[in-house]
Amino acid sequence: MGAMVLTAGAAPAFLAKPFVTTDALNAGGIVVSSGDAFKQRAIDMSQKTAATSQGQDTDGVAWTWQAKQYEGSTVAAKTADCLALLNINFKRFKVEYRLNGGAWTIFPGADYTGADFAADHLILPLDPAAGVTIDEWLVTATHTQTPNQEKSLGLFLPSVQKFQASRGTSDLNMKPEEQVVTVKLFDGTLDQTNILHNDADFDFMRTPLLFLAVPDTEEPSYAALRGDFFLFVPQPGKYPNQWFLCRVAPNTYNAAPLSMDRDSRLMRVALSVEEVGGA
């Protein structure tokens, strides 16, 4: 299997949950050169927030966001074959990694120190065979696309690719599940509170997926999604910024041979995925 295709028209992609999680935050494993109060926003799975520098809004002044990978309270080395930096305003930057405190190495394709970067996201799927084992990351940004702004890193998602659907889904209806509480006071008026699941979002994405004519060899990949949380990219080409940390909604998974040809090796896979919130 080669690297995922994440360009226009690509089918939904599924990746393992990101390697830098709240465990790193709790263990003190995330360090920034400024903006300490916002450093966790790079892992909160919100499309609306970002870890930002504070007072380092001059081009040429480096801002760093450094994170170790933790499982619980222990540093965990993992092999990454995909890295996504979403909602960034970097123009000159690089992403490095290392293992066991060794020398920093540029993650393949993540060096824009000598060239300008102009997009709001950088997604770097590698051939899985070329994955690198990592326990610590370092993002260094020196310039912003609009000059002299605070550096901003929306999401930092190192992961490992699971699989990409061979065909698009025929049923994608992303519906936000709002965390809105409404109280009706005795005079009949309403009082509304938006309960957030992270620093910015009070809704969770939930959508049914229907994959028709899935080769039966591919179906176990869908079935295995039920084991743990995973990153879901529903429309990699059209909306490359939309990465969700999801689970398969309980009791929604359904796989069956296509009825028109019981002997065929094609199946119909239906499931619903729902966002679970911050990493």
Among 1, 187, 251, 263, binds other proteins (CB under 8 A): 187
145 binds other proteins (CB under 8 A): no
C-alpha 54/C-alpha 253 separation (Å) is 45
24 binds other proteins (CB under 8 A): no
How many residues of this chain interact with other proteins, rule: CB under 8 A? 33
Q: Which two tokens stand for residue 108?
A: 């393949």
Q: Residue 28 or residue 109: which is nearer to other proteins going by CB? A: 28
Minimum gap (Å) between residue 279 Cβ and other proteins: 7
The partner residues of 184 in beta bridges, in order of sequence, read: 190
Closest CA to 269 of 161, 167, 162: 167
212 binds other proteins (CB under 8 A): no
241 binds other proteins (CB under 8 A): no
- What phi, psi does 7 have (nearest 5°)? -110, -175
Q: How far apart are the first and last CA of the chain?
A: 27
The size of the chain, in residues, is 279
Among 190, 251, 259, 263, binds other proteins (CB under 8 A): 190
202 binds other proteins (CB under 8 A): yes
Which residue in the block uniquely carries the two structure tokens 């519906």?
175
Q: Which two tokens stand for residue 110?
A: 């993540």
C-alpha 189/C-alpha 36 separation (Å) is 40
Q: Which two tokens stand for residue 12?
A: 């939904």
191 binds other proteins (CB under 8 A): yes
Q: Residue 146 or residue 182: which is nearer to other proteins going by CB? A: 182
185 binds other proteins (CB under 8 A): yes
Q: Residue 73 or residue 79: which is nearer to other proteins going by CB? A: 73
Among 184, 259, 260, 262, binds other proteins (CB under 8 A): 184
Q: Which two tokens stand for residue 162?
A: 């699971």
Minimum gap (Å) between residue 156 Cβ and other proteins: 16
The helix (run of H) or strand (run of E) holding residue 221 is helix 219-224
Q: Which two tokens stand for residue 14?
A: 């599924």
Among 39, 68, 197, 206, binds other proteins (CB under 8 A): 197
Among 76, 138, 210, 258, binds other proteins (CB under 8 A): 76
Among 87, 145, 198, 242, binds other proteins (CB under 8 A): 198
